[in-house]
């Protein structure tokens, strides 16, 4: 029996390499016109504890905690090289691909199909460029966010030394607009186009490889063309052109900085070693400033992809690097205004990784990165991980498709909120229809709220800097897997993300210094106590707001003796705990104190009696009355002096 998820989980490491935001760039790279950001000398390493996925027996419907696999196109012969974009006005994705359906697999065309936000294909596949025997390959697509129209671009293979780049506009409803048109057909070799949209000037930028002569001896450069919203093609511009090979470009736009970032492979001609570079480009397609060294893992770095985060105004670049037998993923965040390299990450897996893609989910402030992972020489799978600046836990790396066949070359687009569509090449029906295009909607959920100081329901004093943690579990009340953590902002807001892997999600608010037991409220969740709100299977693709906590100031600040006011008990410390926990008692009646520990079912699992005045500090050793170590979970600590009872809560992590 295959255990691919387990095999990958055991060796998966997430490496977080920090660089100081805004640090002065180090320009001493040994390369002309190079700009490289300073980097910490000692990167930190973080291990992922597990990759999980739930799979059904029906290969056509594999639940993965999100939705179900859907065949986008499964005609006979091959459909390959999928790309996807989302139209907000049209509320639909357009998936495009290179189609070998006609002419018994010898006539290569560009086709497309609309897909609903829930992943359901809409209507029939339709041709975008198909007339004549000339092969059309390697499509790319972007959407005009104002009109909802798509621009599809592709490579025309006229001859061994003459390829061109063409394009065609497609309406939000899938109808074709006008005729296909040449973007660059100057007799040279133009290949591997990519396209993005700039909402500030309502134009597209297309980038591609450019070279002349025999392809076997060509040195490739990167060129660009601006395309207006009505399909007018501006003059071509050189983006990257040195004595080295520059190839496999991708592009994204930063509206706040009014510029693009073009990323590409760069290496000496006919050599296998190379790096990932970037070049800022103005809205007219011309290069801005010096080139940026983005990634330089050992051996050749390949297939860069880039997207933009409008909130941080960062470009995020993902690629694969390392020796061919053990390629791993690299991820770099680039400041769109300055070019500084803010921080980087790696996903290190057994075997090799290929063909990453990347998209940004604004509703969750997170990137999704699907990629192709080599399980064996005949079996590749599609995995993804979610990347965000603060923290991500085990739930945020997982399988998308891991059949006993070949799935690869994924592409992804976001709906601009909390969902996105991943599409890939799929060989599950290779014996009948050969290679098909399948897809799945990846939804993210958000649990959000605020933290206040004072009694419920006062909301006049928000508390900033309070840590709030999200745990996932298959059992109610248990805190089994730490998934996400956040700190409240100046207005007391927090946001926690989840992907739907677990049955129960528990939001845990930690008491800030000099604050203690208060209250909690939630319109959808179950309030377990003043610091815990639990959700059972909250909906994905949505924000679940207004989960609020109140903390009381001064609890445990001025300990007093018996008889000095009512009984008051401090918050347990440390909390969460991996062992014992202590509480400080203030005031209350003289005599003895009773400390009872209850589990989430209300059962008393530990009971002790302490005489005062020696009992001003109470300690629970983290064990049950029978001596067993208390497992991870939420426990209520009930303290009584014979007159008054006070209840606190403690979180145990094992």
Last residue of a domain, one of 490, 521, 553: 553
Inform me whether the pLDDT recorded for 66 exceeds 50: no
Inform me whether the pLDDT recorded for 366 exceeds 60: yes
Inform me whether the pLDDT recorded for 44 exceeds 70: no
Position 78 confidence tier, pLDDT thresholds 50, 70, 90 = very high
Q: For the beta carbon of residue 460, count every other beta carbon within 10 angstroms.
A: 7
Instruction: Give every CB contact of residue 335 below 8 A, 6+ residues apart in sequence.
Output: 21, 22, 313, 314, 341, 342
Instruction: Give every CB contact of residue 132 below 8 A, 6+ residues apart in sequence.
Output: none
- Classify residue 559: in a domain, yes or no: no
Domain count, the chain: 3
Inform me whether the pLDDT recorded for 92 exceeds 50: yes
Position 432 confidence tier, pLDDT thresholds 50, 70, 90 = confident
Confidence (pLDDT) at 308: 97
- Classify residue 10: in a domain, yes or no: yes
Inform me whether the pLDDT recorded for 458 exceeds 60: yes
Q: What is the mean pLDDT of residues 402-413?
A: 94
Q: What is the mean pLDDT of the chain?
A: 83
Together in a domain, 46 and 153: yes
Burial class of 32 by CB neighbour count within 10 A (0 to 12, 13 to 18, 19+): exposed
Together in a domain, 456 and 596: no
| 3-state SS class at 7 | helix
Together in a domain, 521 and 422: no
Q: What is the mean pLDDT of residues 197-205?
A: 97
Together in a domain, 123 and 166: yes
Confidence (pLDDT) at 157: 92
Burial class of 629 by CB neighbour count within 10 A (0 to 12, 13 to 18, 19+): exposed
Confidence (pLDDT) at 612: 66
481-487 and 467-473 beta bridge pairing: antiparallel
What is the total residue count of the chain? Answer: 654
- Classify residue 337: in a domain, yes or no: yes
Confidence (pLDDT) at 33: 26
Q: What percent of the chain has pLDDT over 70?
A: 84
Together in a domain, 52 and 138: yes
Together in a domain, 183 and 308: yes
Inform me whether the pLDDT recorded for 396 exceeds 70: no
Tokens linked to 259: 């510029």
Model confidence, pTM: 0.77
Closest Cα to residue 232, out of 182, 159, 188, 174?
Answer: 182
Cα distances (angstroms) measured from residue 373 to each of 12, 329, 379: 12, 10, 9
Confidence (pLDDT) at 414: 97
Inform me whether the pLDDT recorded for 48 exceeds 70: no
DSSP assignment string, 158-195: EETTEEEEEEEEE-TTS-EEEEEEEEE-SSSEEEEEEE
| From 256-260, 261-265, 301-305, 473-477, the region with the lowest mean pLDDT | 473-477
Confidence (pLDDT) at 159: 82
3-state secondary structure 424-450: EEECCCCCCCCCEEEEEEEECEEEEEE
Give every strand in the sheet of 107-115, ordered side by side.
Answer: 79-87, 92-102, 107-115, 121-129
Q: What is the mean pLDDT of residues 615-639?
A: 85
Confidence (pLDDT) at 277: 96
Tokens linked to 373: 């992972």
Position 517 confidence tier, pLDDT thresholds 50, 70, 90 = low
Tokens linked to 146: 């104002």
Q: Check if the beta carbon of residue 612 is closer than 8 Å to that of residue 602.
A: no
**Tokens 């909402």 -> residue:** 199
Confidence (pLDDT) at 17: 35
Confidence (pLDDT) at 608: 84
Together in a domain, 130 and 51: yes
Together in a domain, 486 and 413: no
Q: What is the mean pLDDT of residues 497-502?
A: 84
Confidence (pLDDT) at 555: 56
Respond yes or no on whether the N-terminal peptide bond of residue 613 is cis (omega within 30° of 0).
yes
Position 389 confidence tier, pLDDT thresholds 50, 70, 90 = low
In the beta sheet, which residues pair with residue 329?
Answer: 320, 347
CATH number of the domain that 171 lies in?
Answer: 2.120.10.10
Inform me whether the pLDDT recorded for 564 exceeds 80: no
Confidence (pLDDT) at 481: 83
DSSP assignment string, 231-283: -PBPPPEEEE-SSSEEEEEEEEEETTTTEEEEEEEEE-TT-S--EEEEEEE-T
Task: Provide φ and ψ at 614, rounded to 5°.
Answer: -70, -10
Q: Check if the beta carbon of residue 442 is closer than 8 Å to that of residue 541.
A: no
Last residue of a domain, one of 419, 443, 467: 443
Tokens linked to 14: 């997430």
Together in a domain, 401 and 521: no
Tens-digit pLDDT profile for residues 227-249: 999 999 999 999 998 888 999 99
Confidence (pLDDT) at 217: 60
CATH number of the domain that 542 lies in?
Answer: 2.60.40.10
Together in a domain, 427 and 482: no
Last residue of a domain, one of 530, 553, 576: 553
Task: Provide φ and ψ at 9, rounded to 5°.
Answer: -65, -40
Rounded to whole angstroms, how far apart are CA atoms 622 and 602?
A: 17
- Classify residue 563: in a domain, yes or no: no
- Classify residue 594: in a domain, yes or no: yes
Inform me whether the pLDDT recorded for 158 exceeds 50: yes
Together in a domain, 480 and 429: no
Q: What is the mean pLDDT of residues 257-281?
A: 90
Confidence (pLDDT) at 399: 83
Confidence (pLDDT) at 477: 80
Tens-digit pLDDT profile for residues 270-296: 666 789 999 999 999 999 999 999 988
**Tokens 């052109």 -> residue:** 241
CATH number of the domain that 581 lies in?
Answer: 2.60.40.3080
Together in a domain, 340 and 196: yes
- Classify residue 562: in a domain, yes or no: no
Q: Which domain holds residue 542?
A: 447-553
Q: What is the mean pLDDT of residues 118-133?
A: 93
Q: Check if the beta carbon of residue 602 is closer than 8 Å to that of residue 637.
A: no
Rounded to whole angstroms, how far apart are CA atoms 333 and 356?
A: 15
- Classify residue 558: in a domain, yes or no: no
- Classify residue 361: in a domain, yes or no: yes
Burial class of 71 by CB neighbour count within 10 A (0 to 12, 13 to 18, 19+): middle
Confidence (pLDDT) at 484: 87
Confidence (pLDDT) at 419: 94
Inform me whether the pLDDT recorded for 188 exceeds 70: yes
Q: Maximum CA pair distance of the chain?
A: 97
């Amino acid at each position: 029996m295959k255990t691919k998820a387990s095999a990958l989980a055991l060796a998966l490491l997430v490496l977080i390499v920090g660089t100081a935001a805004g640090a002065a760039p180090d320009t001493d790279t040994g390369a002309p016109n190079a700009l490289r950001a300073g980097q910490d000398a000692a990167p930190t390493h973080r291990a992922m504890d597990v990759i999980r996925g739930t799979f059904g027996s029906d290969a056509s419907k594999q639940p993965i905690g999100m939705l179900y696999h859907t065949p986008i196109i499964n005609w006979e012969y091959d459909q390959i090289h999928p790309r996807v974009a989302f139209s907000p006005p049209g509320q639909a994705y357009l998936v495009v691909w290179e189609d070998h359906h006609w002419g018994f697999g010898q006539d290569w065309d560009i086709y497309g199909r609309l897909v609903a936000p829930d992943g359901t294909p809409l209507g029939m596949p339709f041709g975008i460029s198909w007339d004549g025997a000339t092969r059309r390959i390697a499509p790319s697509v972007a959407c005009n966010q104002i009109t909802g129209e798509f621009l599809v671009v592709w490579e025309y293979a006229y001859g061994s030394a003459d390829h061109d780049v063409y394009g065609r506009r497609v309406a939000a409803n899938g109808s074709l607009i006008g005729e296909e048109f040449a973007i660059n057909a100057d007799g040279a070799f133009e290949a591997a186009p990519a396209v993005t949209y700039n909402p500030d000037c309502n134009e597209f930028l297309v980038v591609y490889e450019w070279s002349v002569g025999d392809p076997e001896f060509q040195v490739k450069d990167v060129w660009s063309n601006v395309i207006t919203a009505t399909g007018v093609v501006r003059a071509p511009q050189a983006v990257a052109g040195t004595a080295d090979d520059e190839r496999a470009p991708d592009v994204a736009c930063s509206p706040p900085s009014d510029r693009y970032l073009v990323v590409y492979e760069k290496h000496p001609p006919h050599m296998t070693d190379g790096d990932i570079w970037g070049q800022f480009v103005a809205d007219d397609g011309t290069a801005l400033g010096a080139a940026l060294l983005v990634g330089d893992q050992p051996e050749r770095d390949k297939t860069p992809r880039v997207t933009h985060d409008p909130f941080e105004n960062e470009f995020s670049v993902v690629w694969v690097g390392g020796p061919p037998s053990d390629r791993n993923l690299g991820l770099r965040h680039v400041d769109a205004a300055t070019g500084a390299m803010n921080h980087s990450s790696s996903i290190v897996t057994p075997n090799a990784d290929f063909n990453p893609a990347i998209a940004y989910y604004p509703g969750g402030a997170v990137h999704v990165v699907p990629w192709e992972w080599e399980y064996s020489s005949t079996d590749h799978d599609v995995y993804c991980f979610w990347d965000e600046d603060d923290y991500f836990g085990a739930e945020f790396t997982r399988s998308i498709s891991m059949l006993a066949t070949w799935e690869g070359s994924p592409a992804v687009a976001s709906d601009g909120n909390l969902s996105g569509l991943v599409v890939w090449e799929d060989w599950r029906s290779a014996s009948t229809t050969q290679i098909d295009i399948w897809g799945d909607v990846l939804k993210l959920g958000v649990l959000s709220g605020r933290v206040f100081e004072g009694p419920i329901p006062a909301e006049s004093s928000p508390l900033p800097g309070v840590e709030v943690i999200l745990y996932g579990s298959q059992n109610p009340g248990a805190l089994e897997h730490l998934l996400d953590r956040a700190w409240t902002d100046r207005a007391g807001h927090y946001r926690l993300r989840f992907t739907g892997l677990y049955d129960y999600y528990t939001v845990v608010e930690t008491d800030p210094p000099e604050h203690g037991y208060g209250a909690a409220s939630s319109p959808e969740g179950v309030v377990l106590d003043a610091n815990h709100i639990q959700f059972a299977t909250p909906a994905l693709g949505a924000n679940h707001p207004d989960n609020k906590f109140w903390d009381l100031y001064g609890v445990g600040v001025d300990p007093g003796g018996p008889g000095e006011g009512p009984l008051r008990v401090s918050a347990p410390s440390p909390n969460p705990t991996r062992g014992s926990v202590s509480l400080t008692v203030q005031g209350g009646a003289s005599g003895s104190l009773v400390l009872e520990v209850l589990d989430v079912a209300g059962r008393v699992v530990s009971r002790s009696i302490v005489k005062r005045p020696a009992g001003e500090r109470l300690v629970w050793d983290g064990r049950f009355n029978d001596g067993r170590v208390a497992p991870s979970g939420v426990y209520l600590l009930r303290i009584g002096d014979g007159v008054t009872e006070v209840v606190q809560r403690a979180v145990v992590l094992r």
